[in-house]
Chains A and B, each alone.
Chain A
Amino acid sequence: MSGALQDWKSQKRPFAAIATAPVFWLALFFVAPMAIVWLYSFGQNVGPASIEISGTLDNYKRATEWLYLSIFLKSLAVAALTTLICLIIGFPVAMAITFAAPKWRPWLLLGIMLPFWTNLLIRTYALMALMGTNGYMNKGLGGLWEGASWLRTLVGMQPLEAWTPVQLLYNNFAVVLGLVYVHLPFMVLPLYSALDRLDKSLIEASLDLGAGHFKTFMKVVVPLAAPGIVAGVMITLIPALGAYLTPDLMGGTDSQMIANVIERQFKRANDWPFGAALSFLLIYAMFILIALQSMRANKVKEVR
């Protein structure tokens, strides 16, 4: 394909016609706003509605205080846990889709993608309705509880106390569950595309040479699907780290993630420079994650 590349100088008019709109839009409506945020992160409030960009680093200093650092670390932990759970749930699903009969495969894929296309807020809201104290999840748990209680009476033990609905919402558990619910399709799709590209005869060769399914999985499938696993992890981890809606709606007072703190600086605390600094710290964290991934990718290339 590189042969198809044309030098812009040899085709100035078509190039100008094609390039102007995207480059202009990107510069005006993306680079400029981001640059303003970046400048604000070095500013300070001087009046109720005026901000002076003084080059101060105070906002960043404040952002590294333990209060905010701990929220940062907690966001990272929640995002990492979400990613791990998505990986554990998603891998067998991706395997199942890969090895499903050809006529079923597109429908299974569609089944995974349809929620991904459905409105995020509606999905979160639907999950919340299910998890409420009067929701079906509580009912289900209550049923299990009563079942266990009944089993105890069968073996002559005291029945359990009557079921009291538990608070499933508004805590860290709910946040992780909500994030998993929302991000699961993000994980499954790259895993599927990696597994789909895998030459099936490699798996057969491993079985043929005497390895069982588990050993084949660990020694052949996982190493060869590694790029897909990394892609899935990144594609889940990054949005989960910056999640706003799920912790806001499903979390409790102690479930704040970094995005909620940023929001507060703008909508309530009205401390824009500090919010800008936090935003850029979050962006830098993304960059570090991506840099780590591409370093790893390069390393793999060198080894090969």
Chain B
Amino acid sequence: MTETKTPIIQIRNVSKRFGKVTAVDNITLDILAGEFFVLLGPSGCGKTTLLRMIAGFEMPTEGQIIIDGQDMSMVPPNKRPVNMVFQSYAVFPHMNVTDNVGYGLRIAGVAKGEIRDRVTEALELVKLGGFEDRMPDQMSGGQRQRVALARSLVMRPKVLLLDEPLSALDAKLRAQMQFELSDLQDKVGITFVTVTHDQDEALSMASRVAVINKGEVAQLAPPSDLYEYPANRFVADFVGSVNIFEGRLTLDEPDKAAVDCPGLGKVYLNHGVTGPHGADVWVALRPEKIYLHVPGEGKAVTAASQDAPDGHNFARGTIKGMSYLGDITLFEIQLEGGQIIRVSRPNLSRHDQEDFTWDDKVSMHWRADSPVVLLS
């Protein structure tokens, strides 16, 4: 993954308006060859429109899409070096599996023997060997999706586009398909561009994720950066669960920073944030990065002061809600200022959930590398 990559798709200032509604607003981004690229965003954010513009089913109102160095403005979908796996799979109901998968090759006029070989190969790749003569309505949703995958892969496209590939599958199958898609992408080496509204899907499969909000790119980063270093409140909130507090930046040096949050207390970070001093900022704190202590605050204060000055990264509250989820227990704690903070705690041993209960006074601390300061 370290060799220098060239962009296979270049999206240049692309906008798409439907009447008065702007679906895609001046997006510019590059997708690199061999990458598993995910467009992530809530429904209606414009991610599917962007994908459909790459495939050629929608025309940009403004801007340009370049695939493999070639401007696609005048190229119809049937002439583009990309193939798409549709959300509904769009498996032709009147053709059996072999005819579905071989459809594109037949259109391209590939020789019969070669079609047979390539169809067999593609079906093996998606683990559908033996299904050649099935009709689509004799197959499950997961199997139909594999047909759609094989039908696109057999064309050996430069880029494979996947529109919400896992949304119609049940939870278990979805998890399995996530691994299989990553695995498949590794094997065939084709660039995958996937659209999803599901953050788990994006985090588990992608090499890079573009979070889209209201037609604009909110952040473009690898999955772990997205989670640990969200660029703004939208991304912090959309990817994973997070507590956000308003505050004022009181200290900002290359190796440390501090924010004064009226709702939470003093927050100390062991890195700089390069924001204007005294500015209004937001602090994001993930629930799993907060340590919960049994009533009595000695331990919490001691733990917090290990990597932060006295009185920082420490808070008190009352447990107002608890939900036991098996692997973790989720707490809703009312801080002294009245705000609610969510804290999750792993159940490391069998009776851990019994440590706390409703209306317990508790104290919390977090490490100096945990909070994220957001400027917007």
Interface set of A (CB-CB < 8 Å, partner B): 199, 201-202, 204-212, 215, 219-220, 223-224, 304
- Asked if B104 is at the interface (CB within 8 A of a chain A CB), the reply is yes
Comparing B84-92, B111-119, B201-209, the segment that makes contact with chain A is B84-92
Cβ-defined contact, B78 with A210, below 8 A: yes
Chain B residues close to A by CB (< 8 Å) = 55-57, 76-79, 82-84, 86-88, 90-94, 103-104, 107-108, 135, 137, 148, 151-152, 155
Contacts of B78 in A (CB 8 A): 207-212
Q: Are A215 and B77 touching (Cβ within 8 A)?
A: no
Check A209/B155 contact, CB under 8 A, given A224-B94, A304-B137.
Answer: yes
Q: Given the complex of chains A and B, what is the CA–CA distance between A209 and B154 in angstroms?
A: 10
Residues of B near A215 (CB, < 8 A) are 107
Query: A210-B155, A212-B78 in contact; A205/B86 too (CB < 8 A)?
Result: yes
CA–CA, A209 and B77, complex, Å: 8
- On chain B, the residues within 8 Å of A199 by CB distance are 88, 90
- Least Cβ–Cβ distance between B175 and chain A, in angstroms: 25
Cα–Cα, bound, A145→B52 (Å): 50
Which B residues lie within 8 Å of A212 (CB)?
A: 78
* Total contacts A-B at CB 8 Å: 65
CA distance A207 to B152 in the complex (A): 12
27 residue pairs of the A-B complex, CB under 8 angstroms, read A199-B90, A201-B87, A201-B88, A202-B93, A204-B86, A204-B90, A205-B84, A205-B92, A205-B148, A206-B103, A207-B57, A207-B78, A208-B55, A208-B82, A208-B83, A208-B152, A209-B103, A209-B152, A209-B155, A210-B108, A210-B155, A211-B78, A211-B104, A215-B107, A220-B92, A223-B94, A224-B93
Bound Cα distance A213, B79 (Å): 12
- Chain A residues contacting B56 (CB-CB under 8 Å) are 207-208
Other-chain residue from B84, B108, B137 in contact with A204 (beta carbon distance below 8 A)? B84
* Ranked 3 nearest A-B pairs via Cβ: A209-B104, A205-B90, A201-B90
Known: A208-B78, A210-B155, A304-B137. A202 touches B108 (CB 8 A): no
What is the chain B residue whose CB lies nearest that of A300?
B94
Contact A209–B86 (Cβ < 8 Å): no
* C-alpha spacing A208/B138, complex, angstroms: 24
Give the CA-CA distance A209 to B152 in the complex, in Å. 7
- Contact check, A201 vs B86: say whether CB atoms are below 8 A apart: yes
Q: Which residues from A are CB-within-8-Å of B57?
A: 204, 207
- Complex CA gap A237/B148 in Å reads 39
Q: Which residues of A contact B82 (CB under 8 A)?
A: 208
Tell me the complex Cα distance, A206–B91, Å: 10
A280 to chain B, nearest CB (A): 39
Q: Determine the chain B residues whose CB is within 8 A of the CB of A224 once the complex forms.
A: 92-94
- List 5 additional A-B contacts (Cβ < 8 Å) besides A201-B87, A205-B151, A208-B84: A205-B91, A208-B77, A209-B83, A209-B104, A210-B79
Q: How far, in whole Å, are A204 and B57 apart by their CA atoms in the complex?
A: 7
A242 to chain B, nearest CB (A): 33
**Of A204, A211, A304, which one neighbours B107 at CB under 8 angstroms?**
A211
Q: How far is the CA of A176 from the CA of B155 in the complex (A)?
A: 48
Which of A204, A208, A304 meets B135, CB within 8 Å?
A304
Contact A210 B107 (CB under 8 A): yes
Min CB distance B197 to A, Å, is 18
Residues of chain A within 8 A of B92, CB atoms compared: 202, 205-206, 220, 224
Query: A202 touching B107 by the CB < 8 A rule?
Result: no
- Cα–Cα, bound, A215→B104 (Å): 11
Give the CA-CA distance A201 to B148 in the complex, in Å. Answer: 12
Give the chain B neighbours of A211 by CB distance below 8 A: 78, 103-104, 107
Q: How far is the CA of A223 from the CA of B82 in the complex (A)?
A: 26
C-alpha spacing A250/B103, complex, angstroms: 49
CB proximity of A217 to chain B, nearest CB, Å: 13
Closest to A204 in B: B57
Shortest CB distance A76–B (Å): 30
Task: Report the separation of the CA atoms of residues A219 and B135 in the bound assembly, to the nearest whole angstrom.
Answer: 16
Kindly state the separation between the CA atoms of A206 and B56 in the bound complex, as whole angstroms: 13
Q: Which of B55, B78, B79, B104 has the most CB of A within 10 A?
A: B78
- CB contact between B76 and one of A205, A206, A207, A220 (< 8 Å): that residue: A207
List A contacts of B76 (CB < 8 A): 207
- B133 to A: closest C-beta gap in Å: 12
In the complex, residue of chain B having the shortest beta-carbon distance to the beta carbon of A215? B107
Q: Give the residues in chain B near A202, CB-CB below 8 Å.
A: 90, 92-93
A112 to B94, CA, bound (A): 30
Q: Which residues of B contact A207 (CB under 8 A)?
A: 56-57, 76-78
CA distance A295 to B84 in the complex (A): 38
Shortest beta-carbon distance from B252 to chain A in Å:
51
Which residue in chain A gives the minimum CB-CB distance to B104? A209
CA distance A224 to B95 in the complex (A): 10
Residues of chain B lying within 8 A (CB to CB) of residue A208: 55-56, 77-78, 82-84, 152
Shortest beta-carbon distance from A203 to chain B in Å: 9
Separation in Å of the A256 CB from the closest CB of chain B?
42
Inside 8 A of B107's CB, which chain A residues have their CB? 209-211, 215
